[in-house]
Structure 1
Amino acid sequence: MKDHNYQAARRSFLRTAAAVGIGTAGVALGSPLTASPVLAAEHEEETHGFVGRKKTNFTLDHKTFFFAGTNNYYLHYDSHFMIDDVLTSAAALGLKVIRLWGFIDGKDANGFVMQPTPGVYPEEGYERFDYTVWKAGKLGLKLVVTLTNNWDAFGGMDQYTAWFGSTKHDDFYTNQHIKAAYKNYIQHFVQRKNRYTGRLMKHEPAIMTWELGNEPRCESDPSGNTLLHWADELSRFIKKLDSRHLVAVGDEGFYNEPGNPDWARAGISGVDWKRLIALPAIDYGTFHLYPNDWGKDATWAVQWIKDHIHDAHAAGKPAVLEEFGWRDLATRDAIYRSWTDTVYQEGGNGDQFWILTGLQDDGTLYPNYDGYRVTRSDSTASVLSAHAAQMNAKSGKHGKDE
C-alpha cells in the first residue's frame, strides 16, 4: 500500500485554519510539571556510537553533532532495493539522520504489519525495519523512529481508538486501555531483537531517537495540558525502558499564546511547544514547516525557524527542524537555501527535509505524491548536500555549552 493521500489528510485542518484565520480566547495554562532529578540528568556518560545530549548540543562519541537529514515513510515495508536506494543516496548527499515510521497498525502495507490487533506483534512484520536499521548502521546513518501517527496513515492513533470502541481521536491521550496498549507496543518494539544485527533495539547505535508520535495534536484541549501530561507520561515510560536513546515528541512546534492573531501561535491544536520541550524526559524540540499548506509565505518561515531555535536553546535543549517542504520548483532551491542557512547561522542543531525518495523496483522514480519529493539527481539535492557539508564541518567542534 502506498501512502498516496498522506499529505492531504495530515494538513486539511491547517488549510482551513489558515483560510478563516482561526484564533482562540484566552485559556489559562496549567502549572509546569515538576522535573524529576533522574530524568532531568543529561547523557554525560555516552556509549560509543550513540547520539547523546549535553545541554543545547547533540553529542556523538564525546563530540558535538550537528546534522542535515531527511524523512522517508516507506523504509519499513518496501523492498530491500528501494531501501538501499534511499539510504545510499542519503549517505552520498552527506545526510546523517533519517526519520522513518516504526508502526504499521491494523491493515498491512505491502504485506507487512507490525500490530494487526492490540498486543499481537508478528515477527515477519518487522523484517524491513530490521533491515533498514542494519543498513543504516553500515552507512553511518542515524535514525529517528516515530512510534505512532496523529494521522490515519499506517493505522496510528485512530486505529487505537477504533480498536477500543472510541469515536474520538483525542481519547488516545486519556483512555487508560488505549494508553496501556500503546505502552505495550512501545515496550515490545524497543526490547525486541533485530534479526540482522542480533541486538535489541534499545541497544542499536544506529537509532538516535524514539519519537512519541508524528505531529500529535489534541484539539479538544486547547490549553495544551492533555498533550503535555501524555507526553510527560510516555517519555518517562520510554526512558525507564531505554536510557541510551534520545526521546522527542515529534510535534509541529505550534505555540500556545491564546489571542495571538497568528493561528500557528494561538494554541488551537492543543500543542504548547514551550512546555513540551521543558519536560524532563524530552531531549530536544522538534518543529515542522509547510508554508504552502499553512497559508504562510517563505519570509514568515524564516522567523519561525529563528524563534524555535532561540526558544529551545533558552530552555536548555537542542532544536531540530525535522520536516520542511516547499512545492514550487521554480523557487524551491533558493528558499531551501535561505531556510537551511538560517538553521546554520542561528545555531540550529539539525534539519530534515520532507522527503527523500528514490527508485522503485522497476527502475522508475517513486511518485511525487505530495509535491515535496526530492531525489538524488535534483538540483534541490545539490543545495541540501552543500548545507549538509556545512553542518558536518561544524560537528566535532566545541559548542557554546561544552
Structure 2
Amino acid sequence: MTSASALTREPIPSTTPYADRYVGVSKGQFVLNGRNIRFGGANNYYLHQKSHYAIDALLSDAAAMGLSVIRAWAFADGISPMYAALQPRPYVYNEAAFDSLDYAVWKAGQLGIRLVLVLTNNWKDYGGMQQYVSWFLHSNAAIDHDKFYTNREIVECYKAYAQHVIQRRNRYTGLAYNQDPTIMTFELANEPRNRSDPSGATILAWVEEMSAWFKSLAPRQLVAIGDEGFYGRETSRDYPYSNYEGNHWEPLLAVPHVDYGTVHLYPAAWGETPSGRRRVDPVAWGTTWITDHLRDGKRIGKPVVIEEFGLQVNAHDGIATERARTAGYAAWTDAVQAHGGAGDQFWLLASRVGSGSYYPDYDGFTMFWDNRASNKTNEAAHVLSTHAKHMSGRA
C-alpha cells in the first residue's frame, strides 16, 4: 500500500482506435484531428470498484448505445467495509485496489470510449472531502466540510493524490494516465459546494490553484471542475440561480486552466416542480437551465457539457410515467443539440455485475441498455442512444 511501487503486469497489446489523438478545445468547441466534435455520454460511479466482468458489461453496453464519453470516479478515500480504498490513509495508495480503474481505462480505450475521471467528491460517498476533513481536522461535522478548500494540509494531500493518479502507470496499458488519450478529462471534484462563502471567492481561489496543478500534470488532457452550474446571483430567490451554495458559474468557467463548463440538472432535488415553492414544470424549467448555460458558455468562449441530468418517475414531482420521463430526456437532449451544446451525460448507466444479476437502481435514475435488467421499458435508453449517435455524427 505505497505510492512507490505499482503491481507489475505485462501490458496488454493496445488496439485503441484513436491511438495518440487527444481531445482539445478551440473556439468554444471540442476538437479532434482538426474537426469539431460533440458527444452524448453517461455517468457510472462504480467502475473503479467492480470486477472485470462488470466493467466489460457496462462499457460494452455504452458502446452498443453509441455513447462516446463515460464519467467515472477515480477516488475511494478512507478505510471502509463498503469499498476498496484507493487512498486508505493520507499519502498511502493501495495499488492492488487500482486494478479495476486500470482495467476500465484499458477497456474503454479498446471500445473507443473516452473517460472523464473525477478525483474527489463533495459528498461522503467513497470518502470524498469529508474524509480529508476527518483525517486532518478530526471532525465529521458538516460545519467543517468547507475547510477542505482552505486548510493547507488538506490541500496538499489532495494535490498529492491527484498527482499519484494522473502520473501513475496503468498495469494493463503500460501508459501513465497522463499519456493515455482514452482519458479525455481530469475533473477536480463531483459537485463542489461551499455554503460558508456565498461570495464565491473561496471556491474560485481553489479552482484557480487546482486547475493549474492538474494542467501542469496533464497538459495534453482537459481539465474541468465538475460543478453543477449554480449561478451565484445574490438577488435571486431561485435556488440554482442563487448564491446559496457559494458557486458562481460564470467566473469559474472563465478560469484560464478550466477547459470547459460543467452543468448538472435535477429539478426535483432543487425544488423546481409543480409541488415546489415556485410551482414550475420541471422539464420546461430544465430546458431553460440548459439554454441559459449554453448561451453564457458561448459568450465566455468555452464548450459546455450538461454532464449530469436525471428525472425520477414521481407524480408529485411532475413526472408521472416512464413515458413522461422519456419525453423529458428527449426535450433536454434536443435543447443541447439545437443550441450548440458540446455534450451531455445522463445519470446513470448501469449493467450486469454478476452472472444473471444487475446493478440495483438505488436512486431511481438508473438506465439499463438491456431491458432484462428490470420490468421497466428501456424506451428512454433508446432515445438517449439515438441522441448520442446524432451528436457524434453516427446516426
Deviation at 1:109, TM superposition (A): 6.5
Structure 2 residue corresponding to 1:179, chosen from 146, 155, 172: 155
Aligned to 1:262: 238
Q: Distance in 1 between matches of 2:123 and 2:259?
A: 24
> Which residue does the alignment assign to 1:350?
343
Q: State whether residues 75 and 83 of structure 1, in contact with CA within 8 Å, keep that contact through their aligned partners in structure 2.
A: yes
Distance 1:64 1:108 in 2: 43
Matching residue's letter, 2:290: I
Q: Which runs of 4+ in 1 moved over 6 A?
A: none
Tell me whether 1:148 sits opposite 2:117 in the alignment: no
Answering whether residue 298 of structure 2 is matched by residue 313 of structure 1, we say yes
User: Which residue in 1 is equivalent to 2:110?
Assistant: 138
Q: Match of 1:160?
A: 132
Which residue among 231, 234, 243 is the counterpart of 2:210? Answer: 234
Matched, 1:124 2:96: yes
More divergent stretch after superposition (141-150 vs 61-70) = 61-70
CA shift for structure 1 position 48? 3.7
Letter in 1 for 2:291: K
What residue in structure 2 maps to residue 221 of structure 1? 197
Verify the 8 A CA contact 1:215 1:251 in the aligned structure 2: yes
* Residues 318-343 of structure 1: per-residue CA shift (max 9 Å, x gap): 00000000112241111100000000
Which of residues 56, 62, 71 is equivalent to 2:28?
56
Using the TM superposition, give the Cα deviation of residue 108 of structure 1 relative to its aligned residue in structure 2, in angstroms: 4.4
What residue ranges of structure 2 are gaps of 5+ in the alignment? 1-17, 273-281, 314-321, 371-377
What are the within-5 Å matches in structure 2 for residues 252-401 of structure 1? 252-296=228-272, 297-328=282-313, 329-377=322-370, 378-393=378-393
Amino acid at match of 1:389: K
- Once the two structures are superposed, residues 289-323 of structure 1 have per-residue CA deviations (whole angstroms, 9 ceiling, x without a partner) of 01121111111100000000111111010000000
Q: What letter corresponds to residue 391 of structure 1 in structure 2?
A: M
Q: Deviations over 1:364-396 (max 9, x none)?
A: 22111000010003111110011012101189x
Cα deviation digits, residues 140-165 of structure 1 (max 9, x gap): 00000000000000000000000002
For 1:144, what is the secondary structure of its paired residue? Answer: strand
Structure 1: any 5+ residue segments left out of the alignment? 1-45, 396-402
- Aligned equivalents of 2:265 and 2:382: distance in 1? 20
For 2:319, the equivalent position in structure 1 comes to: none
Report the Cα offset of residue 107 of structure 1. Answer: 2.3
Shift of 1:111: 5.7
CA distance in 2, matches of 1:102, 1:300: 32
Count of residues in Structure 1 that have an aligned counterpart in Structure 2: 350
Return the TM-score normalized by structure 1. Answer: 0.85
Opposite residue 271 of structure 2, the aligned amino acid is: G
Are the aligned partners of 2:287 and 2:335 in contact in 1 as well (CA < 8 Å)?
yes
Q: Which has the higher contact order (CA 8 A, sep 6+)?
A: 1
Q: C-alpha displacement at 1:113, in angstroms?
A: 1.5
Tell me if the contact between 1:70 and 1:352 (Cα under 8 Å) persists in the aligned partners: yes
% of aligned pairs identical?
Answer: 48
Measure the CA separation in 2 of the matches of 1:47 and 1:139.
12
Question: What value does the CA root-mean-square deviation take over the aligned residues?
Answer: 1.5
Letter in 1 for 2:123: W
Q: Secondary structure at the match of 1:247?
A: strand
Contact 1:289-1:324 within 8 A present in 2 as well? yes
- The amino acid that maps onto 1:307 is D
Distance 1:111 1:354 in 2: 21
Q: What SS does the corresponding residue of 2:390 show, helix, strand or coil?
A: helix
CA gap 1:109/1:148 in 2 versus in 1, 3 angstroms: farther
Secondary structure of 1:301's partner?
Answer: helix
